[in-house]
Amino acid sequence: AGDAKTYQVSRKTDGTVTTTPLPTTGNLSTTGATNTATKTNTPLPSTGEKMTPVLMVLGLGILAIVLIIAIKHRKVDKNVLALVLLLAGLGSVATVNAAEETYHHRDEVRNHAVELGGTTHVFHLAAEGDFEGDNGEPGVSNNFTITYYINGEKVTDLDPDGYTSGVKTIYLPRPTFEGYDFSGWYNNATFTGDAFTSFSKETTGHQVFYGKTVPHVYQVTFDLKGGAFSDATSTIQDVEHGAIVSEPTAPEKDDEIVGVSTTGPIPEHDFIFRGWYIDPELTTAFDFNTPITGNITLYAKWGLPVTEAGTNNDLGTKYGNNTLGDQGDTVWVANSWWQIIDDDMDNNVTNGLQALVLKMEALTSDEATGDSGMATYISHFKDDTTNPDNYFNSDGTNSYEQAVGTGLRGAIDHYYMSTVAANYTDHVQAVNLHNPTLAEYNAANNLTWGYNGGGASWLNSYMDDHFATELEVTGTKQAFALSYGDIHVHMGMPVSSTDKISDLLNFSSSSDNQFWLRSVAVNYIGVGVVKAGDISYRNSVYSGTQPVRPALALLIN
């Protein structure tokens, strides 16, 4: 009873149990004893047995000795009870159900001190054996793994990745993947049979599941911007994640304007298809080799038919250069050809060619007023009976601004709103006409005359290069009459009292080879005109009549 001994218990492969004494530690003082426990597992080759009993012989023997000593000294304290429980715990590993692997298991408690009859006894307890089964917790034979495969690859970050048979129903995870829809787990790689969402608690054995995924399907919508496909092509395509969308046949677009110009050849269509863009502003073209990863809308870009100088006019010799869209070329707008007199009004190619164009045919009565009784509309500059002769009104305002109704501005405004605006608003550019008041006109030309000029001649105003039309984002989209300033600034025509004829303004093929300008000329009742390309004026605001030939600021590229 005064000695402490340690034994090693081993089970041989033939089933017999042996014990081996370990070195004796002797008695230790109460203060020097430290209770420690260790447990080690070491895989071993399989023995082939299905059940391995291991009897804790030494532990039970020591337990009997301790009890005898305790009874002899008539003391059974809490230390003895703790020792009994310890040995019982060591004995609980005596039988382990077999699984798939053989391993060596050892439990050990060192320096467990028990005071008996005034003497402290230190016990070193150890139990070990070879076992068949998984190296795990008690009941390891009921622990199984769950393995997942998705798209042919093993997935290791899904839970649960194992289960204990007989405990509870196991519910399988539902993973999410970018661009793919998960459609269920199957117990085979060909995805046949029913899909699994769970399995019952009675299930045993390792489980392997194969996840079926299908690419997500996105919609590519084609916004035709007023155009149409000539065939049965749909405006929506379904495209799988990561695939590319098929480029459809080029759409077609025509305006709804009644009546077609008789000058020059007529284009097959009123608009030219210029490609698909990813933004409504039509700034970034779409690449049809781009993998689709979400729903998108593609926008059709439409251009205007443009012909080389000389095709629809007599300017081929002077302006023909095999470059479309520059001065002298013609562009098809609102069922009419318009002549380009400035190919880029702001001289900035980074924002496109914003051209100043002039209608080659004078307005018809139908275009100007809706009245089809006249072939060509012949208009007064203004129809103001209160101040019929003055270019500037008595309050100093510009009379072009009030030339509504059957006057010059009224005819142009009617044409623009009824014909151009509904079909070409994406192409027409906003402008500021800079129509001067009397004070502004006097300041620009160093004049001090009143609104009626005092009957004196002002100057050769057809040489005035002020008050040109200017592109302005906050301006107004409109058609307008040209000014002297437009001719000098945008056309580049020199300011000269002798050299004042331009081929760009000479529509020799037209019987109405003249038109109003919107500028004051010579005196308070004079207004600018162009006759057969000659920049001139008409010395009458009200009584004289001229054809109307509007201009536009137009984005042609």
Q: Of 535, 547, 518, which Cα lies nearest the Cα of 392?
A: 518
- What's the rounded Cα separation, in Å, for the pair 427 and 557? 9
Q: Is the pLDDT of residue 110 over 90?
A: no
Q: Which two tokens stand for residue 417?
A: 């709103």
Which pLDDT value is given to residue 540? 82
Q: Of 442, 363, 359, 430, which Cα lies nearest the Cα of 398?
A: 442
Q: Are 276 and 290 in contact (CB under 8 A)?
A: no
Report angle CA 341, 252, 240 to the nearest 5 degrees: 125
Token look-up 């443009």 returns 306
Which pLDDT value is given to residue 78? 47
The larger pLDDT score, comparing residue 110 to residue 303, is at 303
Which pLDDT value is given to residue 249? 94
Which pLDDT value is given to residue 115? 65
Q: Is the pLDDT of residue 75 over 60?
A: no
Strands across the sheet containing 272-277: 236-240, 217-223, 296-303, 272-277
- What's the rounded Cα separation, in Å, for the pair 511 and 361? 9
Q: How confident is the model at residue 125 (pLDDT cuts 50, 70, 90)?
A: low
Compute the half-sphere exposure of residue 408: CA atoms within 13 Å on the CB side of its CA: 32
Which pLDDT value is given to residue 155? 94
The pLDDT tens digits for 234-282 are 999 999 999 999 999 999 999 988 767 777 788 999 999 999 999 999 9
Q: Of 228, 325, 338, which Cα lies nearest the Cα of 273?
A: 228
- The three-state secondary structure class of 477 is strand
Write the Ramachandran bin of 446: left for phi over 0, alpha for psi from -120 to 50, otherwise beta: left
Beta bridge pairs of residue 523: 521
Dihedral pair phi/psi, residue 217, rounded to 5°: -105, 125
pLDDT, average across residues 188-199: 96
- What's the rounded Cα separation, in Å, for the pair 12 and 161? 36
Q: Is the pLDDT of residue 458 over 90?
A: no
Q: Is the pLDDT of residue 542 over 60?
A: yes
The pLDDT tens digits for 350-363 are 888 999 999 999 99
Q: Is the pLDDT of residue 231 over 60?
A: yes
- What's the rounded Cα separation, in Å, for the pair 39 and 421? 90
Report the Cα–Cα distance between both ends of the chain, in Å, rounded: 110
pLDDT, average across residues 72-97: 46
Instruction: Give CB contacts under 8 A, 24+ apart, made by 253-259.
Output: 253/224, 253/225, 253/226, 253/227, 253/228, 253/300, 253/302, 255/334, 255/335, 255/423, 255/424, 256/422, 256/423, 257/334, 257/335, 257/419, 257/423, 259/335, 259/364, 259/366, 259/367
- The three-state secondary structure class of 454 is helix
The pLDDT tens digits for 15-58 are 555 666 655 544 444 444 445 444 455 454 443 344 334 434 44
Strand 476-477 to 153-155 pairing: unpaired
Compute the CA torsion angle 353, 359, 365, 366 (nearest 10 deg): -40
- The three-state secondary structure class of 37 is strand
The larger pLDDT score, comparing residue 196 to residue 259, is at 196
Can you list the domains of the chain with their CATH numbers?
6-132 (no CATH), 140-215 (2.60.40.4270), 220-303 (no CATH), 357-555 (no CATH)
Which pLDDT value is given to residue 17? 53
The larger pLDDT score, comparing residue 299 to residue 442, is at 299
Which pLDDT value is given to residue 184? 96
Compute the CA torsion angle 219, 220, 222, 223 (nearest 10 deg): 70
Q: Are 106 and 90 in contact (CB under 8 A)?
A: no
The pLDDT tens digits for 290-347 are 999 999 999 999 999 999 998 988 888 888 898 889 999 999 999 999 999 999 999 9
The pLDDT tens digits for 373-432 are 667 888 889 877 777 788 888 889 998 987 677 789 999 999 999 999 989 998 999 999
Preceding omega of 160 cis (within 30 degrees of 0): yes
Supply the Cα-derived Rg of the chain in whole angstroms: 50
> What's the whole-number average pLDDT of the chain?
81
Q: Is 373 exposed, middle or buried (0-12, 13-18, 19+ CB in 10 A)?
A: exposed
Beta bridge pairs of residue 349: none
- The three-state secondary structure class of 62 is helix
Q: Are 410 and 403 in contact (CB under 8 A)?
A: yes
Stated as kind and residue range, the H or E segment containing 78 is helix 78-91
Q: Which two tokens stand for residue 373?
A: 């009784």
The pLDDT tens digits for 129-151 are 665 555 444 444 589 999 999 98
Contacts of 505 (CB under 8 A, 6+ apart): 341, 358, 487, 491, 530, 533, 535
Beta strands of 187-262 (E only): which ranges?
198-199, 207-215, 217-223, 236-240
In this prediction the pTM is: 0.65
Which pLDDT value is given to residue 312? 87
- What's the rounded Cα separation, in Å, for the pair 105 and 138? 12
Q: Of 557, 354, 302, which Cα lies nearest the Cα of 473?
A: 354
Q: Of 122, 104, 112, which Cα lies nearest the Cα of 44?
A: 104
Q: Is the pLDDT of residue 162 over 50?
A: yes
Which pLDDT value is given to residue 478? 97
